[in-house]
Amino acid sequence: MTLRAWLRERTPPPPPRLAARIEETLGARCEQDDAEATDLCVSAAGELLHELLARPSAGRESALDLLTVDALVTYAFEAASREPASLAVRATNAMSGLASAARE
């Protein structure tokens, strides 16, 4: 199953604008296997977070992107929960990756 198909099966579904922004942020990653959902979603969230932090200001116009980062991380950990034994390692890696966006 593709990541796109997996995301579209999530319930409850996100609002249409958020769903569209999630898929836009994921880009070509949407066509990859959902077995890689955790890494793909964290990677996309990190890239968008880096873009957000590089903006000169983060006003209301950034709200959708902030929600998108949050949703991508949430989906990443929903996917990671399929393999509970690796959850701690994945969480540590995700935190490190997302924190690096703030350091740059």
DSSP assigned state of 69: H
**Per-residue pLDDT tens for 19-48?**
999 999 999 999 999 999 999 999 999 999
Residues contacting residue 89 through CB under 8 Å, at least 6 positions apart: none
Q: Which two tokens stand for residue 25?
A: 């942020």
pTM of the model: 0.91
**How high is the pLDDT of residue 98?**
84
- Compute the distance between CA of residue 91 and CA of residue 28 in angstroms, rounded to an integer: 24
List the domain boundaries for the chain: 3-103
Mean pLDDT of the chain: 92
